[in-house]
Structure 1
Amino acid sequence: MAYRHAAAYDDLDDCSLVGCADLVRENASAFADRFDLPASSVFEDYVEMLEAVEPDVVSVCTPVPTHADIVVDCAESGIPAAIHCEKPMADTWGDCLRMTETCDRADVQLTFNHQRRFSGAYRKAYSLIEDGFIGEPRRFEVGGQNLFDFGSHLIDICNGINAECEAEWALCQVDYREENVRYGSHNENQALALWRYENGVHAILSSGVGHESVRCYVRVRGTKGTVELWPAEGPELRVRQTGEEEFEAYDVKEPYETMLHGAVREVIDCLESGETPAIGAENVLTANEIIYGCWESARRRGRVEFPLDIADNPLDAMVEAEDLTPRPAESDAGD
């Protein structure tokens, strides 16, 4: 992802790359060669990089368990004005809060790479729903690989369509029988979750095994119709009003890079204008509270009310306590 972030900055007339850091110097040097950075801009220690090149914006593209400490160190250095971090946010709920609070105190803009907000499918769906094409949204139906790594995108999409409304409660059960570690963090094999937003809208999510039963990544059911984003078959977006037999398809497919470039453009534009980014920490925090609330519901075996009163990662904790005992993944298993 670091290469994709860099390409997005490099594509902007008002941005230039000034340095990179990687624990493995050969990796940093290869990155520098790709983007024509001099050897003096290559570092193994990100703190040294900050002090040497004084960047206005820092992108954090590292394993999830390292996000919080790096973001906090960057914010407390007093050097960057903005930090753009890969998702998921952090591997504990407490660290999600710590990152957000630290950047708030330091007056540093903190964003996360929920690039699907800048997809053609989301932008068109948002516009149609805002215009009342399907009436008032009443329920989201979500199907994806997991709650955390991939699901963070989809829950964020629901939140954006639902006017960033916060959730009231979550109820969830998970199955975790084969180890599924992505970017340093556990992800369940299967989950079924339900949550309710403060405005009365509900969401139901199926992840992992069985998620294909939803037949799209996000379905929005309204009082006058339905919108499907990234359905299993057909276009990236289709809509149907109540009483119609067929869906109307929208040709909104774009290259992956278009979404990511849109996210980086948002980072820069909001830094310059002072506006709140759609992918800012406060919005992303809402999505992560739902995720951790779902896992906490599985741990408690009951409904969880928000705001959360935990600081850890319930899925990790259940593994450590051997309440969940996933067998090691097959060595040749793909991601």
Structure 2
Amino acid sequence: MRSHRLRRLRRRPGTRPRVEAAVVGTGPSPRDPSVSGRAMGYHHAAGYRRLRGVDLVACADLVPAHARRFAANVGIPPSGVFTSTAEMLARTEPDVVSVCVPPAAHADLVVQCARAASVRAVHCEKPMATTWRDCVRMVEVCEAEGVRLTFNHQRRFSVVTERAKHLLDEGAIGRLVRVEMGGRNLFDYGTHLFDLCRLFTDGEPVERVHANVDYARENQRYGAPQETWALAQWRYRNGVVGLASTGDGSLLNCQLRLVGREGTLEVGRDGGPPLRHRRRDEEEWTVVDTRPDAVNGPVSGWGLVTEVARRTGVLQPGTPTPRWLPGTLVERAIADVVASVDDGEPSPLSGASALASTELVFACWESARRGKAVTLPLDIEENPLEAMIAAGRFALDGADGTDGATGAG
């Protein structure tokens, strides 16, 4: 994995910057995030602005006021502000485009960007898309067009993740037997955790998934339904087992637990340290120093000061972290994406990797729909959770006098 430390691009005086970037989907101000939108475009903009040799030249949003406000905050001239993505691509010819719209709109915009003559890379927000067909389509089109496609699974660049992987590789818990994940849901939140499961299993293919889910109440995030409870198990080709317990009444009190033959490692324990591990013959846990990061990024030192300044309005949205400080996880991800364009190295955030992780989400939903285990690769196109909701497979809280905990299986 490429280090999270900032890689600086070089350019000769008087020459065109190596990379010109644009953002599609600016959103409203990130100072007021909600389940409708978090204005992630501002976070991507900070990442591009932090890099030498990169110019942020354009933005597009369907709401003109949002696009103008974004441009004013991040230094894009009025000539680089658009409501049409097609017009933005044609007139500004960016090298890299960040797609920061809700997931249902990802595929069409990613494909549109990939087919633009100037575009060399598309960096898209997660989750990938709301149908399996669209997830596959994005990857296939970008591969056919020779465009690098990446997704913003930025937790790969946390010090917590890097040290957890190092401990695992060094044998701190022995041979890996099982990966366990908690969290709020399988899709919006779980996409990060499935991605980290893939990292900790060295990209080992998954062969079989068995799951049950519930949708006990309306639960939408960024326009996409999220199950309220899930219990899932899957098996990797090498015999490692995966277990997920998410949402209401989750059985896990941490985000990730890695169980080895000789010990256990936990990431993001509720009310506990970001990272700890213990061998089977030890009573006490060893807490790992992950400063300056917690699971989601910097939480100490000047990095924390900068983040607080953004959230309280002392710094404008889209202002990058100073280069002499550890960047946010999104800034580190953007640096990796741009470096991969510049040096040709593959990114750990690749579309192919995201597709393998996202397949687990859709496989869990499909298993619940069928009421039995499914084998991979998936042979579906739609969104099984949406199909179950439309078919009335779930009893919503209070709809029929029940507590909604009937599940789909």
Band the TM-score falls in, shorter-chain normalisation:
over 0.9
The residue aligned with 2:356 is: 286
Alignment partners' CA distance in 1, 2:283 and 2:397: 46
Task: Give the corresponding residue for 1:273.
Answer: 343
* Aligned ranges 1:185-224 → 2 under 5 Å: 185-211=224-250, 213-224=251-262
Shift of 1:30: 0.3
* Residue in structure 1 matched with residue 373 of structure 2 by the alignment: 303
Deviation at 1:321, TM superposition (A): 1.7
Q: Cα RMSD over matched residues? A: 1.4
| Counterpart Cα distance in 2 of 1:7 and 1:107 | 26
On the 8 A contact 1:240/1:246 being kept in 2, the answer is yes
2:320 is equivalent to residue 250 of structure 1: no
CA–CA distance in 2 between the matches of 1:121 and 1:97? 30
Structure 1 position 79, deviation (Å): 2.2
CA deviation profile, 1:239-276 (whole Å, cap 9, x unmatched): 11220111111121424552111111110111122221
CA shift digits 1:95-117 (9 cap, x unpaired): 10000000000000000000110
Aligned to 1:332: none
The answer to whether the aligner puts 1:154 opposite 2:193 as a matched pair is yes
Query: CA deviation digits over 1:218-251, x for unaligned, max 9?
Result: 0000112111111112211111122011111112
Q: Which residue of 1 aligns with 2:136?
A: 97
Q: Equivalences for 1:69-80 in 2 at 5 Å?
A: 69-80=108-119
Shift of 1:289: 0.6
Q: Would you tell me which structure has more helix in proportion to its own residues?
A: 1
Q: Which amino acid aligns with 1:214?
A: L
In structure 2, what residue type is equivalent to 1:319? Answer: I
Please name the residue that 1:28 is paired with.
67
Correspondence for 2:107:
68
Correspondences of 1:315-330 after superposition (within 5 Å): 315-324=385-394, 326=396
TM-aligned CA deviation for residue 132 of structure 1: 1.5
Aligned to 1:226: 264
Alignment CA distance shift 1:6-1:326 (3 Å): farther
Instruction: State the partner residue of 1:333.
Output: none
CA deviation string 1:170-226 (max 9, x = no partner): 111111021111111110000000001111100110111012x31100000011211
Amino acid at match of 1:46: T
Q: d(CA) in 1 for partners of 2:171 and 2:185? A: 31
For residues 34 and 174 of structure 1, the distance between their equivalents in structure 2, rounded to whole angstroms, comes to: 42
Q: Give 3-state SS (helix, strand or coil) of 1:16's partner.
A: strand
CA distance in 2, matches of 1:78, 1:248: 52
2: distance between equivalents of 1:328 and 1:81? 51
3-state DSSP of counterpart to 2:54: coil
Distance across 2 between alignment mates of 1:179 and 1:126: 37
- TM-score normalised by the chain length of structure 1: 0.95
Identity %, equivalent residues: 45
1:173 lines up with 2:212 in the alignment:
yes
Closer/same/farther in 2, CA of residues 155 and 70 from structure 1, 3 Å limit: same
1:4 deviates by 0.4
Equivalent-residue separation in structure 1 for 2:350 and 2:228 (angstroms): 29
Amino acid at match of 1:308: L
CA drift of 1:319 comes to 1.2
**Displacement after TM superposition at 1:144 (Å):** 0.6
In the aligned structure 2, how far is the partner of 1:232 from the partner of 1:41? 44
Secondary structure of 2:381's aligned partner? coil
The AA in structure 1 aligned to 2:279 is: Q
Letter in 1 for 2:284: E
Instruction: Name the SS of the counterpart of 1:268 in structure 2.
Output: helix
Q: Distance in 1 between the 2:166 and 2:178 partners?
A: 18
Q: Which of 132, 140, 147 is the equivalent residue of 2:179? A: 140
Contact 1:78 1:106 in 2 (8 A): no
Q: Is the 8 A contact 1:179 1:328 kept in 2?
A: no
Match of 1:262 in 2: 332
Alpha-carbon distance in 1 for matches of 2:192, 2:150 = 14
Q: Specify the code of the residue in structure 2 equivalent to 1:218.
A: L
1:14 Cα deviation after fit:
2.1
TM normalised by structure 2 equals: 0.78
Check if 1:46 corresponds to 2:82: no
Q: Decide whether aligned partners of structure 1 residues 167 and 27 sit closer, same or farther in structure 2, where only a CA change above 3 A counts.
A: same
Any idea what SS the aligned residue of 2:382 has? coil
Does the CA-based 8 Å contact 1:149-1:182 persist in structure 2? yes
Q: Given residue 317 of structure 1, which amino acid in structure 2 is its aligned partner?
A: A
- Whichever of the two has the greater Rg, that structure is 2
